[in-house]
Amino acid sequence: MRLDVILRVTAKLILPLMLLFAVYVQFHADYGPGGGFQAGVIAGATLILYALIYGLGAVMRIVPVAAVEALIPLGVLVYVGVGVFGILAGGNFLDYSRLAHDPVHGQEWGVFLVEVGVFLTVAATMLAIFYALAARGRG
Amino acid sequence: MVLLTLLAATTIGVVRVRNLFAAAILTGIYSFLMASVMILLDAVDVAMTEASVGAGIAMVLMLGALYLTTTDEKRPAHTPLLPLFVAGVTGAVLIWAVSGLPDFGSAETPVQVLGPNYVERTISETGIPNAVTSVLASYRGFDTLGEAIVIFTAGIGVLLLLKRAPSGGDRAK
């Protein structure tokens, strides 16, 4: 479009790495710093950067508004679902020990699922706020 | 010390500068400095959050909001005495509250007394070597659920306030 070739090429190089880093932060949180919140923010920032350079329409084709709005509550529901599953399995709310055969595995699964829930909510919220702001500017 | 001096300088800059674009950039710089302070304090998780949220997302959102308005601050319509009073009292209360905290590096603080307990338990009970993650997501899972709901509420609130009616609707104008 305009004279932003450098921006576009750099973004193309950096975007996959950013997304990969988000995934790394998400799944490596058991061993290193990070977790659902940080990973969600990084993933959200990746998509926002994409939107800044390639335009809002390009991102909305990948992640439609309806999907974002569905993902915000879905993350919380995943979290609460893990908690309620603990009750149904005969334990307390958010009792991860019941998720697998032995308590330690259950804890790992519980933490993993809960972090996924946080990731979904955070990433979707960041994107939703950006969509809401950016869409105003266009009209 | 250098970082804290830079922090103070940036804060004064944010207050003094009247161009909102410069102010937004300065808050981003402030966040990066704050993240560096957190790294010095060995709080890598907090530093990561501060850098990505404070310097990244918040700045993009501020610039996005600036795009919708003008970039120069208007002259205040009222005298700044009442805000000055409120800020002064709040600051005084905060400084007074700091005197109630345990000394920096003291062995009596809750984190020093209870922390080793979690560090010892985390591998045998959860199989997760990073105690920060196991405390956040497992031992304090309820708190984290609250945080997720806070973000959910914030997102819904922003959508309610800012989202326009689907194409064709003119209600938001």
The rounded distance, in Å, linking the Cα atoms of B82 and B125 is 54
Q: pLDDT > 90: what percent of chain A?
A: 2
Length of chain B: 173
Domain extent at residue B61: 1-73
CATH number for position B60 = 1.20.120.1200
Give chain A positions within 8 Å (CB) of B126: 104, 107-108, 111
User: Is the Cβ pair B49, A69 closer than 8 Å?
Assistant: no
Structure confidence by residue, pLDDT tens digits, B25-37:
888 888 888 888 8
Q: Which of B129, B137, B172 sits opposite A115 (nearest CB)?
A: B137
Mean pLDDT of A11-29: 87
Domain endpoint, select from B54, B73, B92: B73
The rounded distance, in Å, linking the Cα atoms of B107 and B113 is 7
The rounded distance, in Å, linking the Cα atoms of A45 and A35 is 15
User: Is the Cβ pair B130, A128 closer than 8 Å?
Assistant: no
Mean pLDDT of A5-9: 85
Instruction: Write the CB contacts of B84 (distance below 8 Å, at least 6 apart in sequence).
Output: none
Q: How far is CA B80 from the centre of its chain?
A: 25
Q: pLDDT > 70: what percent of chain A?
A: 94
User: Are B63 and B19 a contacting pair, CB within 8 Å?
Assistant: no
The pLDDT score that the predictor gives to residue B173 is 37
pTM of the model: 0.77
- Are B60 and B17 contained in the same domain? yes
User: Are A82 and A72 a contacting pair, CB within 8 Å?
Assistant: no
The pLDDT score that the predictor gives to residue B86 is 93
Tokens of A98: 């019941």
CA distances from B44 to A23, A33, B36, B132, B138 (A): 17, 6, 9, 10, 19
Tokens of B110: 């809750």
Q: How far is CA B110 from the centre of its chain?
A: 23
As to burial, measured by CB atoms within 10 angstroms (0-12 exposed, 13-18 middle, 19+ buried), residue B145 is buried
- Are B120 and B63 contained in the same domain? no
Mean pLDDT of A21-26: 87
Q: pLDDT > 70: what percent of chain B?
A: 92
In a domain, B97, yes or no: no
Asked if the C-beta of A117 comes within 8 angstroms of chain B's C-beta atoms, the answer is yes
Asked if the C-beta of A46 comes within 8 angstroms of chain B's C-beta atoms, the answer is no
Length of chain A: 139
The rounded distance, in Å, linking the Cα atoms of B54 and A38 is 12
Q: Quote ipTM for the complex.
A: 0.78
Q: What amino acid occupies position B46?
A: V
User: Are A42 and A25 a contacting pair, CB within 8 Å?
Assistant: yes
- The domain total for chain B is 2
Residue B67's closest chain A neighbor by CA? Answer: A137
Structure confidence by residue, pLDDT tens digits, B145-172:
888 889 889 888 888 887 765 554 444 4
Structure confidence by residue, pLDDT tens digits, B103-156:
777 777 777 777 777 777 777 777 777 777 777 777 777 888 888 889 889 888
In a domain, B139, yes or no: yes
Residue A66's closest chain B neighbor by CA? Answer: B166
The pLDDT score that the predictor gives to residue B88 is 94
Q: Which residue out of B41, B68, B144 would a mutagenesis test of the A interface target, given it has the greatest number of A Cβ atoms within 10 Å?
A: B144
In a domain, B170, yes or no: no
In a domain, B41, yes or no: yes
The pLDDT score that the predictor gives to residue B162 is 79
When pLDDT is cut at 50, 70 and 90, the band that residue A133 belongs to is confident
Q: How far is CA B25 from the centre of its chain?
A: 16
Residue A28's closest chain B neighbor by CA? Answer: B130
The pLDDT score that the predictor gives to residue B9 is 84
User: Is the Cβ pair B138, A126 closer than 8 Å?
Assistant: no
The rounded mean pLDDT for chain B is 80
Q: Which residue out of B67, B159, B171, B173 would a mutagenesis test of the A interface target, given it has the greatest number of A Cβ atoms within 10 Å?
A: B159
Q: Which residue out of B130, B132, B143, B153 would a mutagenesis test of the A interface target, given it has the greatest number of A Cβ atoms within 10 Å?
A: B130
The more confidently predicted of residues A3 and B85 is B85
User: Are A18 and A44 a contacting pair, CB within 8 Å?
Assistant: no
Tokens of B88: 């002064």
Domain endpoint, select from B49, B73, B97: B73
- Are B68 and B111 contained in the same domain? no
The rounded distance, in Å, linking the Cα atoms of A61 and B138 is 36
Confidence check: pLDDT of A124 > 60: yes
In a domain, B149, yes or no: yes
Q: What amino acid occupies position B145?
A: L
The rounded distance, in Å, linking the Cα atoms of B58 and B4 is 22
Q: What amino acid occupies position B83?
A: P
Distance from CA of A121 to the nearest CA of B (A): 6
The pLDDT score that the predictor gives to residue B38 is 87
